[in-house]
Amino acid sequence: MTTFSRRSFLRASAAAGTALAGATTFLSPRSYARVAGANGDVRVAIVGLAGKGKDHLKRFQALTGVRVVGLCDVDSTVLAEAAQAARAAGSEVKTYADYRELLAQKDVDAVSIVTPNHQHTLQAIWAMQAGKDVFLEKPVSHDIWEGQQLVRATEKYGRIVQAGTQNRSSIAIGECLAWLREGQLGRVTTVRGFCYKRRISIGKSKGPQPVPAGVDYDRWLGPAPKAPLLRQRFHYDWHWQWATGNGDIGNQGNHQLDVARRFLGEASLPPRVSAVGGRFGYDDDGETPNTLVVLYEYKAAPLIFEVRGLPVQAGSDKMDQYGDLSVGNVIECEGGSIIVPSGDYSSARVFDRKGVLLKDFKGSGDHYANFIEAVQSRKAAHLTGQIRDGHVSSALSHLPNIALLAGQPRSEKDAQAELKHSPMLADALKRMTRHLAVNGVDLQKTPLQGSSLAIDPATERFTGENAGPANAQLRRKDRAPYVVPEIG
């Protein structure tokens, strides 16, 4: 594997003359190994263990200079299984059903938060107030206002907070960005992101469902409204309901939006976003869109994002592709293009205008080790996943959802007319409607939804037409005592 040190990365950036805003530096795996253990073990607790938290547990257990000392989950069955696995791997862990009890422990230096989206910001701020450092899974917020408070809290409390967008530690992407800055492919003309990921129906429940035995439902809900459980599968399917999740653009898509913004070099929100889509193909308990086309009108170049949860056609398990990509990014430049697949972000392939492979950058890096290095050095600048970047990229995933919620149902013809200012978005919409048609979706019975919204990037508020309904979506109303504090 090619190593690429932070120092050489900075030299490459300086040589380019004009570094892309928002493209964070990174450290090589070799530098992590040198630092780990130098100042004593970092004692980490994992919070949320039903899904991705299991991977966090393994990744932190594998690092030198780290001791996993605590596990927390409101599901006693999940917690017991994770504790058994942790102890079998050699970790002496205490278990906690109440997150606040965990935060009171002096023998915990850092928490890794892998809970549902609606808990992320609150739990991160509580951790900072308790003097803990934080590894925070994406999206770092459930709404835009929360992300703003998270950034302010990080500045106020001076803690080390890593956003869980793992591409930021990718050696391949970092080297490719440095190479691109040298002008090798000319100007970036368009950046595309894709989340063509199969999502089956979550089913339609007949009234309130029983909460699984051993789950503290009040703590699980946290800031969300106290409401009956209205889905058949308790874990994971919360992604597709507004009170707790953000749909696939805030799930898988958050990663690809972060990659896209890095290649654009944009540090803030765009001045305008347009989104059209909806939830198509099944009638179930899900609420968030499974199909979207989005245009972020950045000054540097347009960013077009597409989400599809239905297959290539009804009855198939295969997904559509853009080129040979279902999930990932395509960066179109004057002199060629760059393909960044999803996964461990260990590859960035460069092609000329004729499709001939020019370069294939390799190397994944270690986002968890980078966090530990920053915790031990107490230098937040060493973090590859800066929380400000995490906030902006998470806000990008919130914008299309807001555009749908603030918009009105519209016919395909009306949507095409509204998007005629952007031929690329109009083309994406045509491809999306063809995709829906082969899946048996009748857009007259289930119409498209969406709107175009102007944004003030400095205040991160909407202006102009539809500003009122859109700004109403910037902040939810939290349920006491699980209230995200306003940070002054």
> pLDDT, tens digit, for every residue of 193-224?
999 999 999 999 999 999 999 999 999 999 99
Residues 288 and 57: their CA atoms lie apart, in Å, by: 29
Q: What is the rounded average pLDDT for all residues in the chain?
A: 92
39 pLDDT more than 80: no
Banded model confidence at residue 1, pLDDT cuts 50, 70, 90: very low
User: 9 vs 90, which has greater pLDDT?
Assistant: 90
The pLDDT tens digits of the residues spanning 267-290 come to 999 999 999 999 999 999 999 999
Which domains does the chain show, CATH number per domain?
6-169 (3.40.50.720), 171-199+215-225+232-471 (3.30.360.10)
DSSP string, 408-457: EEE-HHHHHHHTTT-HHHHHHHHHHHHHHHHTT--TTTS-EEEEEEEEET
Segment 392-398 shows an average pLDDT of 98
109 pLDDT more than 70: yes
User: 418 vs 24, which has greater pLDDT?
Assistant: 418
443 pLDDT more than 90: yes
Measured in degrees and rounded to the nearest 5, phi and psi for residue 352 equal -80, -175
The stretches of 62-111 forming alpha helices (DSSP H) are 76-88, 99-103
Question: Which tokens belong to 60?
Answer: 């932190």
The pLDDT tens digits of the residues spanning 452-468 come to 999 999 999 999 989 99
Query: What is the chain's length?
Result: 488
Banded model confidence at residue 417, pLDDT cuts 50, 70, 90: confident
The pLDDT tens digits of the residues spanning 325-375 come to 999 999 999 999 999 999 899 999 999 999 999 999 999 999 999 999 999
User: Is the overall model pTM greater than 0.85, yes or no?
Assistant: yes
pLDDT at 31: 41
pLDDT at 9: 31
Give, to the nearest 10 degrees, the angle between helix 171-181 and helix 6-16: 20
Non-local (6+) Cβ contacts of 193 within 8 A are 253, 256, 257, 259, 260, 303, 304, 305, 306, 328, 329
The pLDDT tens digits of the residues spanning 300-311 come to 999 999 999 999
Q: Are 476 and 121 in contact (CB under 8 A)?
A: no
The pLDDT tens digits of the residues spanning 230-242 come to 999 999 999 999 9
Q: Are 453 and 406 in contact (CB under 8 A)?
A: yes
pLDDT at 422: 84
Q: Strand (E) positions, 6-113?
A: 42-47, 66-72, 94-96, 110-113
